[in-house]
Amino acid sequence: MTASAPQPAESAAFASALELIGAVEPRVAAAIRQELNDQRESLKLIASENYASPAVLAAMGNWLSDKYAEGTVGRRFYAGCQNVDIVESVAAEHARELFGADHAYVQPHSGIDANLVAFWAVLAQTVEAPALRDAQARHVNDLSDAAWETLRRELGDQRMLGMSLDAGGHLTHGFRPNISGKMFHQRSYGTNPTSGLIDYDEVRQIAAEFRPLILIAGYSAYPRRINFRLMREIADDVGATFMVDMAHFAGLVAGKVLTGDFDPVPHAHIVTTTTHKTLRGPRGGMVLCKEELSEHVNRGCPMVLGGPLPHVMAAKAVALAEARTPDFRRYAQAVVDNAAALAEGLLRRGVTLVTGGTDNHLVLVDVSAHGLTGRQAEAALLDAGIVTNRNAIPCDPNGAWYTSGIRLGTPALTTRGLGTAEMDAIAELIHTVLVNTQPAAGPDGNRSPAKYVLDAATCGKVAQEAANLVAGYPLYPAVDLG
């Protein structure tokens, strides 16, 4: 989506859509138009956001939205789903080929939904396994240790082991505020307090003690690669199902930047992802799995999902087709190169990074060295035209709300065409804001974790430089709304 001459078809399509919407509810049309303007002007460094192509966006706005299609391809609960079957089949085919998966399920509406489908599929496979039926048929005194473990799980003590939130894990990996934390008895593995890296020996030790049904790998704020071969070995040692949530880095897997031990698909029993982050598709989710889990995964609707969204599956099919091109592989590599350049630029300026750098698409900054909370840094950067999000860091003294970190990501700006030189310039802008922002007192006179002061001159200067930077890399240049 780098600069090019406007294409009449694309401009006409979106202009016509806004005209139709505006005729019914002009406030909605105005908000959509303003959103495009706002995104064009923002220096977006949110690691979980990207820009879908015009083709992906257009695929969502059509009459496929009008169809109910519960069930799976060829086995629907509604008649007249022949075109939905085509769309879903194409999306699943692209997903299988792109990731080398046995089976792909493209119906989940979000990453959380994809994880729920995966959890219930594993539980269903466990309960219905022949070993469990055999164990239940015996007298309890004759049960082996393995059979006792299976029976205990069936009686309600299902266990999940995943990465801790402050180490970079995700709420959907068994934490109490999420439904996964109510389904499973959960424990966490963290990172080495010195290096910030996963200690695989510690994971092995915790797994051996805890004996989880599901071992989850994956992250939302861990700036390094994971060795999925080692994690699978740990899962096998304790008889666990190995699940990977690759929502954040699916585009790096699709783009063949993460391969071998760092590609989760060959190693995991089941893999979940969103489709709108590094994969650069529509907002939605997806499940990839080994063949033995496919029957259970296909029960996602109506087990935990409502009616599939055929228009979004159409957009997933388009995005997955785009991800199979050489251009997408170049994009994925550029995302990682840009993240490394951003990290190096920050380090040269004395900014503290969790793990001291990055191997993927994100950078995690510890702002406590500047006397700031993550919330203060996030707000000050936003004032200066740089969009980030606050994020907890390992053993964060400020908790998950105020935090001590900010998370930066390069997928969106890479889509716009910015490169490593621009990443160094962005590092300078971020550093300028951090060193010129001071914590401030709240209404009670005590230091506030949310209040801050950034002088207007510095703020205005950085905001202008940020605007000048993105102006050279137009967003959706083929869409001219006049």
Q: Domains in the chain, start-ordered, CATH in brackets?
A: 65-323 (3.40.640.10), 327-471 (3.90.1150.10)
* Annotated active-site residue in 153, 232, 277, 390: 277
412 residue type, one letter: A
Among candidate residues 126, 274, 373, 415, the one labeled active-site is 274
Ranked by mean pLDDT, the top range of 14-23, 159-168, 256-265, 444-453 is 256-265
**Token pair for residue 165?**
């939130």
Q: What mean pLDDT, rounded, does the chain reach? A: 90
- Would you call 402 a catalytic residue per the annotation? no
Instruction: Determine which of 53-62, 152-161, 426-435 has the lowest per-residue pLDDT on average.
Output: 152-161
One-letter amino acid for residue 103 of the chain = H
Annotation says 275 is catalytic: no
Q: What is the pLDDT of residues 177-235, one digit of tens each?
A: 777 777 778 899 999 999 999 999 999 999 999 999 999 999 999 999 999 999 999 99
Catalytic-residue membership of 447 = no
Region 455-479: what's the mean pLDDT? 94
283 catalytic? Reply is yes
For the whole model, what pTM was predicted?
0.90
Catalytic residue among 68, 352, 424, 461: 68
In this prediction, residue 393 carries a pLDDT of 93
Tally Cβ neighbours within 10 Å of residue 177. 10
Per-residue pLDDT at 139: 35
- Whether pLDDT at 327 is above 90: yes
Q: In what order do the strands lie in the sheet with 241-245?
A: 103-105, 285-289, 270-274, 241-245, 214-218, 159-163, 185-189
The CA dihedral of 366, 39, 419, 330, to the nearest 10 degrees, is: 110
Supply the pLDDT for residue 124. 82
User: How do the residues of the chain divide into helix, strand and coil, expressed in percent and rounded to 5?
Assistant: 50, 15, 35
CB atoms within 10 A of CB 417: 17
Cβ–Cβ < 8 Å for 219, 206: no
Residue 56's Cβ-side half-sphere holds a number of Cα atoms within 13 Å equal to 23
> Contact, 311 vs 302, CB < 8 A?
no
The length of the chain, given as a count of residues: 482
Between 101 and 172, residue with greater pLDDT:
101
Please tell me what DSSP assigns to residue 191.
Answer: B
User: Is residue 297 within 8 Å of 305, Cβ to Cβ?
Assistant: no
State yes or no: is 113 an active-site residue. no
Catalytic residue check, 274: yes
Spot the catalytic one: 33, 41, 49, 70: 70
Query: In sequence order, what E strands does 140-276 have?
Result: 159-163, 185-189, 214-218, 241-245, 270-274
Report in angstroms the alpha-carbon separations of 373 from 185, 379, 394, 445.
32, 10, 14, 18
Over residues 277-303, mean pLDDT: 94
Q: Residue 240 gets which letter from DSSP?
A: P
Average of per-residue pLDDT across 310-331: 98
